[in-house]
Structure 1
């Protein structure tokens, strides 16, 4: 068997020469491998590796907070770097306590289950007595808070979706709000071993399933066959779903028996739907004025849904918006009214295409997981509120029915992830980033996060350390040997944290007496026992290392989403207060949150194409996931570079919008609003509806050298709005954003995102 490695994009076969990896090939058992990971050995990436520990000059000379992102770095020895880091941790702990340390991570640094930076940094900080944590995710901030109240936790729902093979047999109409973006499904946490989305869609179309894509963009669905595209104004899907619900009820097409036996609160929602509470029926004519979709088509679509086996799907992007809870709640309500929840090929899906997980038929068990220990610090923030926390220590925020206060953070410790990619309104984050005394970062490359740090500790990559590749419901568990020597003086995150823990008197608590090899054996054997309980027989650790991989058996019957609940809601209740689908939630209503009442509602977003603000910024900006990278990972790679226009991220406009502004394909343009501006390369396409611009995320943040707020590389998060989705979730709302686009200056500033910082030797 070939030597294998695993990334979030999938498994790859490693070609070795002289004991070193020299090339990567697709995994032979992957039906649709992602090309992204094939470029991990590219010299463009090697050039940007962090090879020695480095400390920002201004911090080293007096702990100056100004100069982050601009000061040169001084390269130091590991002993100096570890002593400085441990000393600063000790100073903050002694003077301010554990509540002054924020443990930042986003979990995407490695698909390996042991060398998982997020688990490592949390375990380390817990060994010191705890830290301020973040909760939820930028991807699913609103849904993760909402869904436990109305159906079940998102992690549980994602792992139980109806398999593609079941939909191929039974689904006759697939209606998706926001498409099924196969580019997003290139990934899974822990590795997408067999990519299923393109083949699943194609086979469904070949079996006669009809698709309707309700989205501002046409190309977020590809079935290999024609489908219907209904262009909709961004952030208005809730209004359309409510109108579909109205038709079902008005024409007696709803399943009253299912609503009575499996749901709660429909009667209270119905008063809002019919207009009894506010005088406005949520009918198709009302929705047309909001969404732009003709009332007649809405009425016909509702009838079509009720007439056949229908699967409703929603993209995660819809809840990354102001009032982002509402489209997810409305989708569940619409599916409940159709009454097909739990039937083969019917009901709803929460993100087919969001990752490779949804629709997998494979066995489910808990894979190798590094225990993180106990965190006695109760302070936390919703993940997208980091700028608010740093700027407003002591300020109040609401979350999931509670009122909390932002802690006063003196030290940010970040390992895994790039806040200058994920976060919104990056000019405001730059201001917030100057508030802590110290920022420590583990990084592999000179990313924006590394350049904005005070102490930078070089970490190894996936290819430079032994690990275990496994993702929930994937087809294989894979041994990942180290296939390259570490670049420069890079060390594993575990080795870095072990050395720091030893200096701080927590070595035994952190390591439990195990080195990395000991932990790998221990974690695998623990997960092997859990696999056995799920009916999966795995070889022992030595057997896995010898074989390279082990197959996870596919169960005899492919899963059907919520089938047990449908068959017997008393024997298999949902984990909601009522045990049923909560169309009206007494819990949420009891929170008394003005912008998130007890049932799904339409609320105007802070920015949208129906608002007066469009006179100044008349384009709705969508900042979706890129095709050629995961978030900002591998942005300097040849694959990512080939997708750019004049070295900048491409912004897609409809030809009519470009013509109205005198813009042409391939031109460098300025994208702007009151929060900031960036330069991007123009690409014209009719796959984007008029009035909408699409600028994918992931271009490394490249702020201008002056104080103009201009970003040179095409990072959309200098434009996005940084407020919470609602008082319930405080989720990210990057998809609620209006901009204008104009020609860039004749001589736009050069992109410098992939240049090395100034590195000085220790004097």
Structure 2
């Protein structure tokens, strides 16, 4: 530290970076030296941390404070109160709800992207507090992978995220063995800027440079060229048609004698139930390339050539998370697994099927697991769980029965929502309907650093610190770095960390000892680290003590793993009897008796082609374009949006449109646009490009949802246009990519 100015390294979900501080202000950031391809996201951090939209003091919506009015959420004014008074009011309200209506009337929001720190992890903090208070209604899955998390355990018998993080081939294995890489939905380095808990070395782009140098054939199967790195071939399919294309590839394998029947017989069950559907013996419609071509917008001969190539080379099929974020999203994931099984390469290095490469930066790396540094959430006495993407339905339909993954039950009657570490008015679908449903609960409490759209729709708002205003430890199981995350600046305004907020509430509710165990943050951090250090020592890894870690700031862990030991499928392939999968049959389930027994017509017992309600096959004159809503390139979800929106020309968000679609509408790059359908409208700025398929437009997520009352979202949030329907009764995931829209020029 010199003249009040110093630099430290810290970690975040988008990676490690250096932070330069002067006095009480973050003045600049710089890339983390070991990172070969650092993200540009931290550049906006100083402006975001010190932004005028920071919440200064505890605030309570005036109408709620005066009369418990619910109708003005989103457009009412707030009364700032001292911390003690605001905590008294919130604690009394939580107590009232749980004693009057029971803990099943409380919904605990948040599922985890707020901080890379292991202790100040908003999801753990809010859930621990609510569990100490008697429990809460929880959610299953995430908006990113909820559908896959439901379907894939039926197919492979393994929890989906554990499969992603622990058993998929690394980029090194792909480089050494794969000859053909077929990427449904692409592998986008833009998305791999981020990873839960941090990604210190961004390697997706550099690995593809090596793939191209070696001569691996990399095929991007997507409506956007930019969904894969430069140098990849591009097959510009229509959105939502991937399952049809996969079926056609499978049809070629079966009819041309390219199916590996020995592998199917030894390692799978149900192919004989699936084959008649594939060949059209039941419905009179063979799922041939000629059948698929008009659905996919891909020539039949192109499909045949690709199938033959896949059968004659070591082929890895990868599927992006985006494919299961659409109506019937279970089908492409299941069908990709069946296609890989028919090729017979599952369990071979660099062959088979993988999911989510490029979705987050940690997938494609291979590390030994290390236990420890988990702040316990305690146990939840309330057993009611809803699929995370069905929040709107839950609020609209208390008591109404719904189906989910083989069970049927009623939605709970939610009277209080406590949200910390998330922004549902970014990631939920059909935000205008969610805004209406948000008026149903009696009380909404939010911990948040900024006045986000969710904070503006809360009754009680507690200002929370950012990760740069508190001390923590950074460590991700998908990364091989360990960080001490120092407190770089004092809390902005009167912000407090989540632990202090919940400790204050818990003390008032008589559960302080249960929540804190009598410990402060300064007690918890060394305790969590000591457990982690002890577990590391058992694995032969010597770590400094906590004070040593603080002094060192960061270190690289010697935990690189031998990829051959990771695969779930290699021992299974060698001997399915002695290394069975966790499915009912112990094999890969091409046909699932369990799913068939659920009786869902929108997800039967084997993969099928099911057209969504909205796609180019159902386009109308009123809504002729299929809108996809990819992740943004300049931030993680909606984080840092307050500062980004200040950048000249950054808002409204940019919409990519094909030249022919633009020409018919008189649109040029830079034009102000109105994007609309029957659900809503958003403003956007045109980018005319041949890197998107004709008939498709792309509007990234992340712009903050505008204030209610207008007839158009001014910032360009695509979720005013998306459908709030489940993927199916099995997965009940979000269907963000199921949306038809129209686009028109708008006068400035």
**TM-score, reference length from structure 1:** 0.95
Candidates 713, 735, 738, aligned match of 2:737: 735
> Offset at 1:166?
1.4
Q: Distance in 2 between matches of 1:352 and 1:644?
A: 32
> Offset at 1:592?
1.1
Q: What does residue 426 of structure 2 align with? A: 421
Q: Distance in 2 between matches of 1:17 and 1:488?
A: 17
Q: Mind listing any 5+ residue stretches in structure 2 that lack a counterpart?
A: 1-5
1:248 aligns with 2:253: yes
Whether the aligned pair in 2 keeps the contact of 1:7 and 1:37 (CA below 8 Å) is no
Q: What does residue 3 of structure 2 align with? A: none
Q: What does residue 444 of structure 1 align with? A: 449
Partner SS, residue 473 of structure 2: strand
Q: Distance in 2 between matches of 1:535 and 1:637?
A: 44
> Offset at 1:591?
1.1
Whether the aligned pair in 2 keeps the contact of 1:315 and 1:354 (CA below 8 Å) is yes
Q: CA RMSD in A?
A: 1.6
Candidates 672, 675, 680, aligned match of 2:679: 675
Q: Distance in 2 between matches of 1:360 and 1:4?
A: 22
1:4 aligns with 2:9: yes
> Offset at 1:497?
0.2
Whether the aligned pair in 2 keeps the contact of 1:170 and 1:344 (CA below 8 Å) is yes
Whether the aligned pair in 2 keeps the contact of 1:699 and 1:715 (CA below 8 Å) is yes
Q: Distance in 1 between matches of 2:334 and 2:543?
A: 40
Candidates 210, 217, 226, aligned match of 1:210: 217
Equivalent residues in 2 for 1:307-456, closer than 5 Å: 307-456=312-461
> Offset at 1:29?
0.9
Q: What does residue 161 of structure 1 align with? A: 168
Q: Distance in 2 between matches of 1:375 and 1:546?
A: 38
What are the Cα deviations for residues 557-614 of structure 1, in whole angstroms up to 9, with x where unaligned? Answer: 2346432322332332222112211111111111111110111100010111011x43
Whether the aligned pair in 2 keeps the contact of 1:45 and 1:637 (CA below 8 Å) is no
| Residues 367 and 155 of structure 1, relative CA distance in 2, 3 Å threshold | farther
What are the Cα deviations for residues 106-157 of structure 1, in whole angstroms up to 9, with x where unaligned? Answer: 3111111110001100000000000011111111111000011111211111
> Offset at 1:377?
0.8
Whether the aligned pair in 1 keeps the contact of 2:49 and 2:466 (CA below 8 Å) is no
Q: What does residue 753 of structure 1 align with? A: none
> Offset at 1:361?
2.2
Q: What does residue 585 of structure 2 align with? A: 578
Q: Distance in 1 between matches of 2:704 and 2:363?
A: 29
Q: What does residue 757 of structure 1 align with? A: none
1:588 aligns with 2:592: no
Partner SS, residue 608 of structure 2: coil
Partner SS, residue 614 of structure 1: coil
Candidates 174, 178, 182, aligned match of 2:185: 178
What are the Cα deviations for residues 628-664 of structure 1, in whole angstroms up to 9, with x where unaligned? Answer: 01110001334x655955x300111001101101122
> Offset at 1:4?
1.7
Whether the aligned pair in 2 keeps the contact of 1:643 and 1:650 (CA below 8 Å) is no
Q: What does residue 472 of structure 1 align with? A: 477
1:621 aligns with 2:630: no
1:77 aligns with 2:79: no
> Offset at 1:14?
2.4
Whether the aligned pair in 1 keeps the contact of 2:446 and 2:458 (CA below 8 Å) is yes
Partner SS, residue 262 of structure 2: helix
Q: Distance in 2 between matches of 1:661 and 1:555?
A: 53
Q: Distance in 2 between matches of 1:278 and 1:530?
A: 57
Candidates 720, 723, 732, aligned match of 1:721: 723
Q: What does residue 600 of structure 1 align with? A: 607
| Residues 150 and 556 of structure 1, relative CA distance in 2, 3 Å threshold | closer
What are the Cα deviations for residues 392-445 of structure 1, in whole angstroms up to 9, with x where unaligned? Answer: 100111111000111111111000100100100011001100111111000001
Q: Distance in 1 between matches of 2:227 and 2:648?
A: 17
Candidates 707, 711, 714, aligned match of 2:713: 711
What are the Cα deviations for residues 528-556 of structure 1, in whole angstroms up to 9, with x where unaligned? Answer: 33444555443332332222223221446
Q: Mind listing any 5+ residue stretches in structure 1 that lack a counterpart?
A: 748-763
What are the Cα deviations for residues 693-732 of structure 1, in whole angstroms up to 9, with x where unaligned? Answer: 10000001113544x3x21110000000001100101110
Equivalent residues in 2 for 1:54-65, closer than 5 Å: 54-65=59-70
The count of corresponding residues between Structure 1 and Structure 2 is 739
Q: Distance in 2 between matches of 1:101 and 1:365?
A: 34
| Residues 607 and 536 of structure 1, relative CA distance in 2, 3 Å threshold | farther
Q: Distance in 2 between matches of 1:631 and 1:614?
A: 31
Q: Distance in 1 between matches of 2:106 and 2:43?
A: 37
